[in-house]
Amino acid sequence: MIDFQKLANEFGTPLYVYDSEKIRKRIKKAKTVFDGLDAEIVFALKANNNPALLKIMAEEEIGADVVSRGELLASKMAGMNRILWNGNGKTHEDIRHFVNQGLNIVCIDSLQELPLWDGVNVIKLLRVNPDVDARTHPHISTGLRAHKFGVPIEKVSEVADRIDGIHLHIGSQITDVEPFFDAYSKALDCAKQYGFKHIDLGGGWGIDYEGRELDIERLQKGISGIFAGFDGKLIAELGRFIIGPAGYLVTKVVSVKPSEKIFIVTDAGMNALIRPVLYDAHHRIQVLASTKKTVTADVVGPLCESGDILARGRKLEVPIPGTAIVLENAGAYGFSMANNYNGMPFPAEVLVDGEEVKLIRRRQSIEELFTNVKM
């Protein structure tokens, strides 16, 4: 059991806390989905790119799914050996850099990008758009024709002799298996038609934010059935599924403010965790010390925006000002989407490994906000 209040006292708040044991358990759970199949898992660094956490992935033989030079550097710092490059805005300069750094697999986003890769010795996968509704938040749904990613699957016929396989990713935080099965079946049909030996299934496996998550047993059975006769390699790009449940945001209660409704004011806002504002995301909250009185309240941050809300209309025990509360399932798209709005420095990050607690990113100082400024 992690003593969050002790960590808050020692390292200050806002503070991101990660549980290494839980990370390893999530990786093990993900691997069971591909039992009996030739498959590899790569970690999507967009979910969290701290090299200390990526080192755990590397130790568990997980590769890197990167979209930028910064993420590539983080993966190299962590010792991740297999590098897959995603994204829809690759430049000539970026391509030279990635190839020189030992790129293994590229996911090509368009027919216009494909000529840039002619003659380059990497595994080339074309991102196809299977026109499947992921049934998730519209900001993170990516598998319909109206979305900017990939090419219509029927266009593969035009370039099949220039690629090694196909890639798809229909969205994020998907808790229904059926969209996956629909997309995977279309991908397999395409691969069989053209003799491809590589299929990148993307990611999007949903976690339990508020009582619903992806049924991993059903997913495993479905994948096993769909790909039973596939004589090739599968790739899965997982981020949130691995790191999401293993991370927590610890924030101090500044005040409890009664008005027309009750506001619990904390020292973390959408600068530290923007998901509730951006996606209407729900994070369960632990109150570590309370008056034992239960109220319905909004949990809000210190920024000068009325939309600076971490939780809306929650039934919570009234926390004692000066003590911490904890937002759960904050390991993915938490720190990686943090920002300096209102001149707020980035939080610190710590890793809990059994009895050992390690500071893996110190808190940004106020002075460091302006390190790159020239007057």
Q: Which residues are catalytic?
A: 304
* Residue 82 vs residues 95, 125, 240: alpha-carbon distances, Å: 16, 15, 19
Residue 330 has a CB neighbour count (10 Å cut-off) of 29
